[in-house]
Amino acid sequence: MQQLSDAQKSGSFRWEFSRLLMLAWPVILTNLNWSLMGLIDVAVVSQLGTDELAALAAARMPAWVALAIAIAGLSGVLVFAARADGAGQYEQSGDILRQGLILAAICGCISMGIFLLFPVQILSALFIAAPIQLPSAAVMSAYAWGFPGQLIMVTAAYFLEGISQPKKVMMVNLGILPINGIITYYWAMGGGPFDAMGAVGAGYATSLSSTIGALWMVYLASFNADRILRGTYLFQWALWKGAGRNLAALAKFGITPGIASGLELGGFIFLVALSTQMGNEAAAAFQLMLSVHNVGFALSIGIASALGVRVGNAMGAAQGHDVPRRIFMAAIMAILILGVMSIIAIIFAGHISMWFESDAAVGALAASMMIVMLSFLIFDGLQMLFTYALRSLGRQEIAAFNGIIAFFVIMGGSAYYFTHAGWGAIGLAWAAGIGMLSATILHLWALIRSRHLMTAQIC
Give the residue, 316 or 210, on which the prediction is more confident: 210
Average pLDDT over residues 371-399: 93
What span, in angstroms and rounded, lies between the C-alpha atoms of 64 and 70? 10
| C-beta pairs of 157-160 under 8 Å, 24+ apart in sequence | 157/30, 157/217, 158/74, 158/75, 158/77, 158/78, 158/81, 158/100, 159/77, 159/78, 159/81, 159/93, 159/96, 159/97, 159/100, 159/221, 160/217, 160/220, 160/221, 160/224
So what's the pLDDT on residue 3? Answer: 45
Q: How confident is the model at residue 4 (pLDDT cuts 50, 70, 90)?
A: very low
So what's the pLDDT on residue 187? Answer: 94
pLDDT exceeds 80 at position 13: no
**Contact (Cβ atoms closer than 8 angstroms) between residue 81 and residue 96:** yes
Q: How confident is the model at residue 101 (pLDDT cuts 50, 70, 90)?
A: very high
So what's the pLDDT on residue 454? Answer: 67
What span, in angstroms and rounded, lies between the C-alpha atoms of 402 and 389? 13
State percent of the chain over pLDDT 90: 37
So what's the pLDDT on residue 354? Answer: 72
Q: Classify 327 in phi/psi space as left (phi over 0), alpha (psi -120 to 50) or beta.
A: alpha
Q: Quick one: CA torsion of 170, 175, 180, 182, rounded to 10 degrees?
A: 150
So what's the pLDDT on residue 89? Answer: 80
Q: Which of 396, 402, 408 is nearest to 444 (CA)?
A: 402
Amino acid at 298: A
Mean pLDDT of the chain: 85
**Contact (Cβ atoms closer than 8 angstroms) between residue 132 and residue 58:** yes
Weakest mean pLDDT among 361-375, 403-417, 432-446: 361-375
Average pLDDT over residues 8-18: 68
Q: Does pTM surpass 0.95? A: no
State percent of the chain over pLDDT 70: 90
Chain-centre distance of CA 447, in angstroms? Answer: 22
Give the residue, 273 or 372, on which the prediction is more confident: 372
pLDDT exceeds 90 at position 86: no
pLDDT, tens digit, 9 for 90 and up, residues 130-151: 788 898 899 999 999 999 999 9
pLDDT exceeds 70 at position 455: no
So what's the pLDDT on residue 459? Answer: 42
Q: How confident is the model at residue 317 (pLDDT cuts 50, 70, 90)?
A: confident
pLDDT exceeds 50 at position 5: no
So what's the pLDDT on residue 442? Answer: 97
Give the residue, 160 or 291, on which the prediction is more confident: 160
So what's the pLDDT on residue 238? Answer: 65
Weakest mean pLDDT among 95-104, 211-220, 227-236: 227-236
Q: What is the 3 state secondary structure string of the chain?
A: CHHHHHHHHCCCHHHHHHHHHHHHHHHHHHHHHHHHHHHHHHHHHHHHCHHHHHHHHHHHHHHHHHHHHHHHHCCHHHHHHHHHHHHCCCCHHHHHHHHHHHHHHHHHHHHHHHHHHCHHHHHHHCCCCHHHHHHHHHHHHHHHCCHHHHHHHHHHHHHHHHCCCHHHHHHHHHHHHHHHHHHHHHHHHCECCECCCCHHHHHHHHHHHHHHHHHHHHHHHHCCCCHHHHCCCCCCHHHHHCCCCCHHHHHHHHHHHHHHHHHHHHHHHHHHHHHHHCCHHHHHHHHHHHHHHHHHHHHHHHHHHHHHHHHHHHHHCCCHHHHHHHHHHHHHHHHHHHHHHHHHHHHCHHHHHHHHCCCHHHHHHHHHHHHHHHCCHHHHHHHHHHHHHHHHCCCHHHHHHHHHHHHHHHHHHHHHHHHHCCCCHHHHHHHHHHHHHHHHHHHHHHHHHCHHHHHCCCC
Give the residue, 282 or 12, on which the prediction is more confident: 282
